[in-house]
Amino acid sequence: MRMKIIGTGSALPKVTVSNKQIMDWVDTSDEWIRERTGIANRHLSTGETVASLAAEACEKALKQAGVKAEEVDMILLATCSPEYLLPCAACQVQERIGAANAVAFDINAACSGFLFGLTTAQAYLQSGMYKKILIAGSEVLSKLMNWGDRSTCILFGDGAGAVLIEAAEDTQESRMISFSQGSDGAKGMVLSCRDRWINNPLYKENIQEDFYVQMDGQAVYRFATRQVPACIQDALQKAFLTVEDIDLFILHQANARIIEAAAKRLHADIQKFPMNVDRMGNMSSATIPVLLDELNREGRLKRGDKLVLSGFGAGLTFGACVIVW
Ligand code: COA
């Protein structure tokens, strides 16, 4: 079975926050943030949730495809910032959109979550188990930030994106040609966020209250600029394609410098790397589907185009896939 993306959607919190506004909260500057990251604005939640944003993005994808929610077999929601540990956010989305016949569960692979969701969906589809699958990435990362820590809070934003895929006929060109993905748990603590500690009467350790994102920025930067080009090359080799064969490289929007460094290492034309990180910041699992939706709605994706999608982030996790749109 071949995978065909038949609908895309995205949803963003209504409030946009500029670098200048962040200067009211921490000691930073517009110049520093733009130079180091390429970020100028980001959307921050003033009440929107992972479930509400994901549901809105999924509804838009369904509408675009002309598919009813009851026809959806599966919902995979990538998130590392759900409101509830249980029920999972995917089940909340199922309820909100009325996808009563779908099985729904979350995937947490941080910023690689959407990509891992897409390859998971492809495996289900290829096995013949399901025919129509919604894959979403949705984050409200702003609640995981220490808004007194200028080295992290300036980087992230909130938002959601979704795609609807269906099993396509073998006569159609659309498909996932190849993928390459991996994890490096040994380096996990370079980007982490603690959940609550054990609090049962048997546990005697000191409880430390640090429930916010901690990051070794330079270690993450080194990892991303080495690993992203390597796994893209691996996926291209598996597809018997070269950098020149690819129409667009849709990379996780963490930082413009990382994307530029990846393009350089691949000897690829930077014009083939669309970016929206300047307007969105890093929305973790949501960046790739939000960018895909923007490009799709602008008419920049044509059937038959060859795209590379690539994500990387906490875990550490990384991956790339080659698809024919
Ligand atoms: N505004 C102004 N100064 C800041 C600042 C901010 N928001 N954040 C940190 N600084 C300061 C530091 O305190 C440090 O000052 P010092 O030299 O007086 O100690 C100086 O800027 C340099 O800090 P450093 O951390 O070395 O900066 P950097 O050049 O490595 O840039 C990042 C920091 C975070 C932009 C960069 O490491 C990066 O992009 N890493 C990848 C992060 C990422 O994408 N994570 C998510 C992956 S999914």
Q: Hey, whose CA ends up nearest to atom 14 of ligand 1?
A: 151
Please say whether the dihedral angle defined by the alpha carbons of residues 273, 279, 284 and 290, taken in this order, is positive or negative.
negative
As a whole number of angstroms, the distance between CA 111 and CA 118 comes to 13
Report how far ligand 1's centroid is from the alpha carbon of 155 (Å).
Answer: 10
For position 1, what pLDDT does the model report? 62
Which tokens belong to 115? 């990509």
Identify the residue whose C-alpha is closest to ligand 1 atom 47.
Answer: 313
Ligand 1 pocket test: pick from 24, 36, 144 the residue with the most ligand atoms within 8 Å of its Cβ: 36
> Counting beta carbons within 10 angstroms of the beta carbon of residue 267, is it exposed (0 to 12), middle (13 to 18) or buried (19 or more)?
exposed
* Nearest residue (CA) to ligand 1, atom 33: 217
Q: Would you state the pLDDT for residue 270?
A: 97
Q: What is the Cβ-side half-sphere exposure of residue 97, based on CA atoms within 13 angstroms?
A: 31
The span from the first CA to the last CA of the chain, in angstroms, equals 15
> Could you list the pLDDT tens digit for every one of the 325 residues in the chain?
689 999 999 999 999 999 999 999 999 999 999 999 999 999 999 999 999 999 999 999 999 999 999 999 999 999 999 999 999 999 999 999 999 999 999 999 999 999 999 999 999 999 999 999 999 999 999 999 999 999 999 999 999 999 999 998 776 789 999 999 999 999 999 999 999 888 888 887 777 668 899 999 999 999 999 999 999 999 999 999 999 999 999 999 999 999 999 999 999 999 999 999 999 999 999 999 999 999 999 999 999 999 999 999 999 999 999 999 9
Among 270, 236, 235, smallest CA distance to 256 is for 270
Encoded tokens for 12: 């963003």
What token pair was written down for 250? 């849709």
Residue 104: count of CB within 10 angstroms of its CB: 20
Q: What's the CA-to-centroid distance between 221 and ligand 1, angstroms?
A: 10
What whole-number distance in Å separates Cα of residue 308 and Cα of residue 246? 7
pTM of structure: 0.96
37 lines ligand 1 (CB under 6 A): yes
Query: How far apart (Å, rounded) are the C-alpha atoms in residues 178 and 297?
Result: 25
Residue nearest to atom 25 of ligand 1 (CA): 217
Neighbour-count burial of 78, counting CB atoms closer than 10 A to its CB (0-12 exposed, 13-18 middle, 19+ buried): buried
Active site residue 146: no
Supply the pLDDT for residue 313. 97
> Does the beta carbon of 151 sit less than 6 angstroms from any atom of ligand 1?
yes
